[in-house]
Amino acid sequence: MTSMTPAGDFRSSYRADTTIFPTRGSRFAMLAGLALLCAAPLVFGRYELGLLIAIGYSAIAALGLNILVGFTGQISIGHAAFFGFGAFASALLVEWHVPVPLAIWGAGIMTALVGLVFGAPAARLKGLYLAIATLAAQFILEDFFARARWFSGGVAGRVTEPYELFGFRFDREETYFYIVLAHVVVLFVAAANLMRTRDGRALVAVRDHYLSAEMMGINLAYYRTLSFGIASFYAGVGGALYAHYLLFVSVEAFNILYSIQFLAMIIIGGLGSVMGSLMGAAFMVLLPEIVQSGADLLAGGAIDRVLRLGASISFLREMAIGAAIILFLIFEPDGLVHRWKMIKAYWKLYPFSH
């Protein structure tokens, strides 16, 4: 087994042995990455920053789903409904004169409570049966959004306010980007912390061997339900960030296809990996854009004329997404994060990698 600690790196305290980023190099890389991201608005235009914002709020929701599916081993195909609930809840709180920065977290807590209700069957159901129960959550919430005008504004949707802190409005991509970045950092650090403490270990124990987890003093029903609560909290905050970016929330966005996209994010990124959730979200947000620009280049070109593709080019985008998921499942079932580890291991051992 290849250890990722470099030669000569001896930990002399338990504190040094329990850090999130194990080596000096990885800590430096993370800080450098954050610094570069902070400089992004100086370099990128509105379009690119919009993509980064989308990656940010998707990654937060995907991380929630990963805690549920990847770490606790339960399935949910209703995650987009919770994401949507957070978006509407935050807009509603703002209408009740709650300041946006608080409304985002308040929406997270409200969504967590709803998640606990819909997660209650998890205390009894497993596998496919639980999947169907969460599918029911998706449809119930979607129907609720469509009918409860006081909550969602009905089919017309709901308009909301931009993020405002100390009199400063974060209503452009260049500024709102920092808000999303801050939330991403806080929530990802929180998840990494969770996974190295008592309740995080309990969740993984429930996934790996629930019978023996119970014998080790873990209350199965509590942790199975808690996992839904935490996942919904993350979905709710992600949805709220989405709401205060677009400033308009409507029910159509939160359908089952979007739920499946969240599942695709964590499968492609890496089940049971905190960083994998971010990688998967980035992949799923960027892939359609890249395929689109490829299709745009293709349109009207030589290949298009020879093969008479014409309108079919616009289908390429959807097909490429499906193909990417299938290819990932076959060639990299452990996700992008596994590929990333392989690359790191390769450079660590270079040039003696065999």
Partner 1 sequence: MSAETAVLEVERVSLRFGGVRALTEVSFAVQRGEIFSIIGPNGAGKTSMVNCISGRYRPTEGRILFEGRDVTPLRPNRRAALGIGRTFQNLALFGHMTVLDNIMVGRHHLLRAGFVRGMAYWFGGAQREELAHRREVEEIIDFLEIQHVRKAIAGTLSYGLRKRVELARAVALKPSLILLDEPMAGMNLEEKEDMARFIIDLNQEWGMTVLMIEHDMGVVMDISHRVMVLDFGRKIAEGLPEQVMAHPQVRSAYLGEADAAVSPAEIDG
Q: Which residues of this chain interact with partner 1, rule CB under 8 A? A: 1, 3, 14-15, 17-18, 190-191, 193-194, 196-202, 204-205, 207-209, 211-220, 226, 230, 272
**Paired strand residues for 164:** 169
The type of residue at 309 is L
C-beta of residue 261 within 8 angstroms of C-beta of residue 284: yes
Of the candidates 58, 40, 44, 7, the one whose C-alpha atom is nearest the C-alpha of residue 258 is: 58
- Nearer to partner 1 by Cβ, of 169 and 209: the residue is 209
Residue 62, H or E segment: helix 46-66
The type of residue at 113 is L
Give the nearest distance from C-beta 14 to partner 1 in angstroms: 5
Give the nearest distance from C-beta 193 to partner 1 in angstroms: 4
- Nearer to partner 1 by Cβ, of 230 and 313: the residue is 230
Pairwise CA distance, residues 77 & 127, whole Å:
12
- Nearer to partner 1 by Cβ, of 10 and 166: the residue is 10
Give the nearest distance from C-beta 17 to partner 1 in angstroms: 8
Beta 248-249 vs 158-159: how paired, if at all?
antiparallel
Pairwise CA distance, residues 282 & 115, whole Å:
25
Of the candidates 231, 189, 223, 268, the one whose C-alpha atom is nearest the C-alpha of residue 64 is: 231
User: What 3-state DSSP class applies to 24?
Assistant: helix
Give the nearest distance from C-beta 72 to partner 1 in angstroms: 12
Tokens (6 digits) for 125: 């159901």
Give the nearest distance from C-beta 228 to partner 1 in angstroms: 13
Of the candidates 349, 60, 97, 353, the one whose C-alpha atom is nearest the C-alpha of residue 232 is: 60
Angle between helices 46-66 and 220-246 (to 10 degrees): 170
User: What 3-state DSSP class applies to 316?
Assistant: helix
Give the nearest distance from C-beta 295 to partner 1 in angstroms: 40
- Nearer to partner 1 by Cβ, of 193 and 353: the residue is 193
Give the nearest distance from C-beta 128 to partner 1 in angstroms: 22
Pairwise CA distance, residues 161 & 155, whole Å:
19
- Nearer to partner 1 by Cβ, of 201 and 344: the residue is 201
- Nearer to partner 1 by Cβ, of 200 and 238: the residue is 200
- Nearer to partner 1 by Cβ, of 190 and 287: the residue is 190
- Nearer to partner 1 by Cβ, of 220 and 247: the residue is 220
